[in-house]
Structure 1
Amino acid sequence: MNPTRFRSAWEIGRTVPGPRPLPPLRPRRPAEPPATADVVLDNGLRVLAARLATAPTVELRLYVPFAGPDPTHLAGADLLATALFSGTARRDRDRMETELGSIGGTLAAEADQIRLLVAGHGPASGLPLLLDHVADVLTGATYPEPTFTRDRDRCAQQRQAEGSQPQLRARAARRRHCYGDHPLGWPIPQPAHVLAIDVEWVRQLHRRAVVPRGSILVVVGDLHPDAAVEAAAGTLADWRSERVAAELAPAPAIGGAEPALVHQAGAVLSQIRLCAPAVSYPDRRYPALQLANQILGGYFSSRLVANLRERQGFTYSVRSAFEHTPGGAAILIDTDTANEVVEPALAEIGTELAGLGTRPPSAAEVAAARQYTIGNQQLAAATQAGLASSLLTLAAAGLDAGWPAAHAARLEGVTVDDVGAAAMEFLAPGRCAGVVIGDATAWRN
């Protein structure tokens, strides 16, 4: 074995100017899958526990499918999540916060068109208390009237603030354009819609929709998986219902169309928000399409960044990313430009979309995208919070904890031709739709 040789001060002082080649990356080590337990309880709740003892803490995620029939349901779901921890028959909000604070734990809820999500964090020794608080609100939330009124006002104020944020408005406009009347296309709830909901409506929604059958609980951390499942089974035994949690129906296929132009007087920038149809995790074409997306705009070495940011100077940031939805997926392309260059920016995006088919990715591009994708997947599972969120995403898609390792092997087998074929099938310019939001008076056409 040769000893490592370091350069001397004399050699360092006489280095030839200019770039030097980077040392090769070390061989990538396969990620070790965590020890897990995956059980469906008698009440229909799926519990997935995984051991990752990087710190003496635990992460908790509860996923309840929460689809509804109309936009009023979305406003009510938002309000239910805001007020979920306002009080139960056993604890008021102050007692909840005091007990969780005594162990350094947190619990919070949020809701959208797809699901109600409860997320928590705390010391490993505090898992029984976290589970007890979750069980308490699931089976005994009372939504006490004075507190509920304050929560409703706060929720309405948050929705009003969101309605003034350009990024959120642009996201909602794209969804309306791409998904139409499907729940994914519903607008952000307006403050008036939230304020019109009374406490009894929310209580009835809780009884009807917050049910275990079809829901998923994920617990990750410094724990023994079988013991964690047993603890969850005992604590949540009283959470029962004959109903099944409401899954969102698959969204309609995204059809290609010219971007819809939305005039926003006085806007300094134009927001380009495009979408293209895609496939999700279980589809055999997903690995190749995932690499095609990385090459297009999925990371800083992508073609969109090299063109729109580096060569043209049209934008500071441009990216493409998957949006996974129940039963499907889309690839989203986002960038903001000056109003004066929105047309050439759109033209260059079209050029890059077409170029993935007419100018197929090189072997070096595919290798770099593969290295980044697999490495990023491993990084996402390196922390307790990241692993909990990853396992929940996979479980909601009907996949198990072994999927990431199998997916990494599939990525290794993707060829240059596979990536080019996926790009031609899904990312041709004619398959995209979306919106452009900006001051139309500054647009040339």
Structure 2
Amino acid sequence: MTRTVQHRSAEEIGRTAAGPRLLPPLGETRSVPLPDVVSSTLPSGLRVLAVHRPGVPMAEVRLRVPFAAPGDKADPVHTARAELLSSTLLTGTRRRDRIAIDDELAAVGADLAVAVDPERLQVGGSGLADGLPAVLEVLADVVTGATYPDAEVARERERLVERITVARSQPRTIAREALQRKRFGDHPLALEMPAGPDVAAVQAEEVRALHAQALVPGGSLLLIVGDIDPDQAVAQVEQALSGWTADHPVRELAPPPPLQPGDVELVHRPGAVQSQLRLSAQAVPRDDERYGALQLANLVLGGFFSSRLVENLREDKGYTYHANSGVQFVPGGAVLGVETDTATDVTAPALLETRYELGRLTVVPPTADEVDAARRYAIGSLLISLDSQGGLASTLCALDAVGLDIEWLRERPARLEAVTYDQVAEAALEFFAPSRFTGVVVGDAEVIGTRLRALGGVS
């Protein structure tokens, strides 16, 4: 006998004879147990943090070296040399060439990558936990004996110039650079990417000199998270990196001046079919008592998909595919950022609606439902980010850079739960008033300029 299966639609499943089926109440947020951290400072000044985090037989490694330019102004030559150094650090030492480095890391299932920005140079990667001594040996060889072979530097220099040329043609890169200049003026933070000609002029001996001067242990951090014995890992680091010494500490990046409100700057990009809107204002760092309320207010504005900006600019108006806001941390503080990309013909309306949402958040505080949704998202996303070894390693490394430790992280969910609706309203009023913002709009000024200037506050 053939049996007929009656399929119900989603709407039918979600309703009962008495009306819509009610969702069950949310349960209590489950905490993620955070391990203890073993800390040690070597005679060289290198700080070592080791964390036992089992689950998979791997270990995450993060070496963070403050790597600021000399002085308190942006230095194009330093930026070019630092970028080329990060691209060639793993290309050879006195004992190993590029292939030998790759082979030894691959033999223990490991990899290392290097990145640099105006604030720091970081070497990071992961590998099998029982292969940690081999990874540390390669890392020690690199930081003490990288040779930057002329041929490798020449090859990477050419590739880097090509990548910069391509990146500088992208609208989002143009907008980012314009915003950083607007935010930070001639402070080193404003120069995140070197110019192609500056990179092309860098010679291998200049990279070697920068390594000797700036890649030093005093003030640097080595963090290891994984299926390890922390005390044993610290001992392994001390044995492997005992030869990494210097007679001077790292160079720390000085805090930038406070961000000043002002007109939005219109940056002309001829023939652009899209415009990039970037607004910014001064915020507060993680250790400020107002930060929790600021974070929740920002989430309501544009920090996740159910935010007011997304509801307005994307769902209601159809001006953009994405709109978001967030906090960027800088030495000594933080800045707010609001951004969206939109079609040229609706650039002015999009800026108008963005300002409207900033003003509405200020004078029409987030509702209890909005705050509760933002709170659940903030706590949930935090716990998810800490659930992996890599996520925990990256978070601890970022926190350590501003003087915070795992105890701050351990207490974070409870602090978010304790933020009141009134505190969120106060943060919205204090930080999100449109008059506090400045920024840039990148687009075809001949098409969008007249309407933007009619809004006022655009120069």
Check whether TM > 0.5.
yes
Q: Per the alignment, do residues 11 and 110 of structure 1 end up closer, same or farther by CA in structure 2, a change over 3 Å counting?
A: closer
Offset at residue 104 of structure 1 (A): 2.0
Task: Give the C-alpha shift of residue 97 in structure 1.
Answer: 1.1
* Contact map agreement 2:60 2:393 (CA 8 A) in 1: yes
Percent identity for Structure 1 against Structure 2: 47
1:12-70 deviation line (CA, Å, top 9, x unaligned): 68654896433222321122112321222221111111122121111111110000031
> 1:23 corresponds to which residue?
24
CA distance, structure 2, for counterparts of residue 370 and residue 230 of structure 1 = 41
Q: Which residue in 2 is equivalent to 1:357?
A: 362
Instruction: Tell me, in whole angstroms, the C-alpha distance in 1 between the residues paired with 2:43 and 2:166.
Output: 42
Superposed CA offset, 1:74-99 (max 9, x none) = 11100000010111111111111111
SS at match of 1:320: strand
Q: Where in structure 2 are there 5+ consecutive unaligned residues? A: 452-459
Cα drift, residue 186 of structure 1 = 2.1
Q: Distance in 1 between matches of 2:434 and 2:234?
A: 48
Name the CA distance, whole Å, in 2 between partners of 1:184 and 1:240: 28
* 1:282-333 deviations in Å (ceiling 9; x for gaps): 1111111011111110001111111111111111100001111111111111
Q: Distance in 2 between matches of 1:385 and 1:297?
A: 26
Structure 1 residue 270 displacement after superposition: 0.5
Which whole-Å CA distance do the structure 1 matches of 2:97 and 2:393 have between them? 28
Which residue is equivalent to 1:66? 67
Q: Alpha-carbon deviation of 1:334?
A: 1.1
2-side partners of 1:11 and 1:154: how far apart? 57
**Residue in 2 that maps onto 1:4:** none
Q: Secondary structure at the match of 2:329?
A: strand
Q: Structure 2 CA distance, aligned partners of 1:173 and 1:402?
A: 38
Could you state the TM-score of these two structures normalised by the residue count of structure 1? 0.95
Corresponding residue of 2:57: 56
Alignment of 1:34-183 (within 5 A): 34-69=35-70, 70-183=75-188
What TM-score does the superposition give when structure 2 sets the normalisation length? 0.92
SS at match of 2:318: coil
Contact preservation (8 Å) 1:38, 1:48? yes
Q: Secondary structure at the match of 1:437?
A: strand
- CA drift at 1:11: 11
Whichever residue aligns with residue 242 of structure 1, its letter is: D
1:303 & 1:341 partners in 2: Cα distance? 18
Is 1:248 matched up with 2:245? Answer: no
Q: Which amino acid aligns with 1:50?
A: V
Change in 2 beyond 3 A, CA 1:92/1:19: farther
**CA shift at 1:187, angstroms?**
5.8
The answer (yes or no) to whether the contact 2:225–2:389 under 8 Å persists in 1 is yes
Is the Cα contact below 8 Å between 1:40 and 1:47 reproduced in 2? yes
CA distance in 2, matches of 1:21, 1:167: 43
**Separation in structure 2 between the aligned mates of residue 351 and residue 408 of structure 1, nearest angstrom:** 31
| Residues 227-275 of structure 1 deviation map (CA, whole Å, 9 limit, x = unaligned) | 1111111111111112111111111111111210011111111000111
Report the equivalent of 2:455.
Answer: none
Give CA-to-partner distance per residue, 1:339-370, whole Å, 9 cap, x none.
Answer: 11111111111111111221011111111111
- CA contact under 8 A between 1:33 and 1:402: conserved in structure 2? no
Letter in 1 for 2:179: R
Aligned length: 437
**SS of residue in 1 equivalent to 2:406:** coil
Partner of residue 201 from structure 2, selected from 196, 205, 215: 196
- Is 1:262–2:267 an aligned residue pair? yes
| The one of 354, 370, 376 aligned to 2:375 | 370
Q: Partners in 2 of 1:86 and 1:232 — Cα distance?
A: 22
Q: Is the 8 A contact 2:399 2:405 kept in 1?
A: yes
1:279/1:285 contact within 8 Å kept = yes
Partner SS, residue 89 of structure 1: coil
Tell me the distance in 1 between the aligned counterparts of 2:297 and 2:42: 40
Give, as a single letter, the amino acid of the residue that structure 2 aligns with 1:41: L
Measured in 1, the distance between the counterparts of 2:232 and 2:62 equals 17
- Distance change >3 Å, CA 441–CA 384, structure 1 → 2: same
Choose which of 417, 424, 436 in structure 1 pairs with 2:429: 424
Q: Is the 8 A contact 2:110 2:125 kept in 1?
A: yes
Q: Which moved more, 1:30-39 or 1:106-115?
A: 30-39
User: Does structure 1 retain, via aligned residues, the 8 Å contact 2:32–2:387?
Assistant: no
Alignment match, 2:457: none
Matched-pair contact (CA < 8 Å) for 1:71–1:183: no
2:296 to 291, 294, 306: 291
Distance 1:50 1:41 in 2: 17
CA–CA distance in 2 between the matches of 1:417 and 1:110?
Answer: 41
Number of the residue aligned with 1:339: 344
| Alignment of 1:278 onto 2:283 | yes
More moved, 16-25 vs 91-100: 16-25
Task: Pick closer, same or farther for the CA change 1:10–1:26 going to 2, 3 Å.
Answer: farther
Secondary structure at 1:434 match in 2: strand
Moved more, 93-102 or 386-395: 93-102
Distance in 2 between residues matched to 1:164 and 1:309, nearest whole Å = 26
Deviation track 1:202-222 (CA, whole Å, cap 9, x = no partner) reads 111101000111111111111
